[in-house]
Amino acid sequence: MTTNAVILGSAFEAPELAGQPLAPVAVNTREGTVILHRVAGEGGWALFRHGLPHRYLPHQIPWRAHALALAEVGVEALLITSSVGVMVPDLPLFQPLRVVDLMMPDNRLPDGTTCSVYPEPMPGQGHLVLDEGLCSRALGAQLEQLAAAEGWPLAGDAVFAYVGGPRSKTAAENRWWAATGAHINSMSVGPELVLANELQIPTCVVGVGHKYSGVPGRSQAMDVRSLKRSLVDARAATERLALRFVREAQPVPFGNAIYRYDGTPD
């Protein structure tokens, strides 16, 4: 049985997934202890990116510890989910968008350190060499099939821009990201995608737009109440697909490589 996992965002606030109970498990890593949640009877895992209950703002998330915990329990296929801002007019809200590429040009975590599971010299370290890109194509094809089987087909492919937060983006920033070729953005995903690849975990990403960001004629009220309601809608649309992924995703080869200097194998 493949060990699959899903990363869930701020819209998820209870230890369950589409009615399926989740059991907390403490996993120790060199970066600290992480609470993962086991999907009962499925052999899979859920990671609540902001903690459960919600306690981490985006810049406080222990990104390295989270990635190392997923590797520690043997995750072989990972789905990252995120509620996102949509920066182009031809992509819909509240429908699944498959992320096909990442824009994170400075490759840094919010604390200013390099986004890597090797923050200092250590055995087995190496360069991540992107042969197919950060998003697994084979796993992305499965995601398309699983979404269709769920009756919630993918609404398009998107380039994701990572912007660290914890504040939202200015109108000028949204216009700049869109002009550089990005379609959607959020305050997460980027570090998770990079770190999972360094740990050789094939990964795919689904974003669900809950608002338009900087799109002329598509602006909407985003007071606290409206934002909360939009996140609830995004959760309802995401959790069934997430559970199906944990249950049904099949193993795929890792499409990239780690170039090491000490002779250890990939």
Please give the pLDDT value at position 261: 85
Topology given in CATH for the domain delimited by 4-260:
Rossmann fold (3.40.50)
Average pLDDT, the chain: 91
Q: What is the pLDDT of residue 230?
A: 61
Do strands 32-39 and 44-48 pair parallel, antiparallel, or not at all (unpaired)? antiparallel
Distance of alpha carbon 197 from alpha carbon 216, whole angstroms = 36
Taking the C-alpha atoms of residue 261 and residue 123, their distance in angstroms, rounded to an integer, is 10
CA distance 128 to 206: 22
How far apart CA 174 and CA 260 sit, in angstroms, is 38
Q: Which of these, 38, 40, 60, lies nearest to 49 by C-alpha position?
A: 60
- List pLDDT tens digits, range 60-87: 999 999 999 999 999 999 999 999 999 9
- For residue 2, the one-letter residue type is T
pLDDT at 232: 67
Q: If you write DSSP's letter for every residue of the chain in order, what string do you get? A: ---EEEEE-TT--SSEETTEEEEEEEEEETTEEEEEEEETTTTEEEEETTTTTT---GGG--HHHHHHHHHHTT--EEEEEEEEEE-STTS-SSSEEEEEEEE-TT-B-TTSSBSSS-SS--TT-EEEE-SS-SS-HHHHHHHHHHHHHTT-----EEEEEE---SSPPPHHHHHHHHHTT--EEESSSHHHHHHHHHTT--EEEEEEEEEE-S-TT------HHHHHHHHHHHHHHHHHHHHHHHHH-------SEEEESS----
Instruction: Give the pTM.
Output: 0.93
Report pLDDT for 79. 98
Query: Tell me, what's the pLDDT at 229?
Result: 65
pLDDT < 70 stretches in the chain: 1, 42, 217-234, 263-266
Q: What are phi and psi of 56, to 5 degrees?
A: -105, 120
Whether the Cβ atoms of residue 206 and residue 238 lie closer than 8 Å to each other: yes
User: Which pLDDT score is estimated for 262?
Assistant: 76
Q: What percent of the chain has pLDDT over 90?
A: 74
Number of residues assigned to the chain: 266
Question: What's residue 234's pLDDT?
Answer: 66
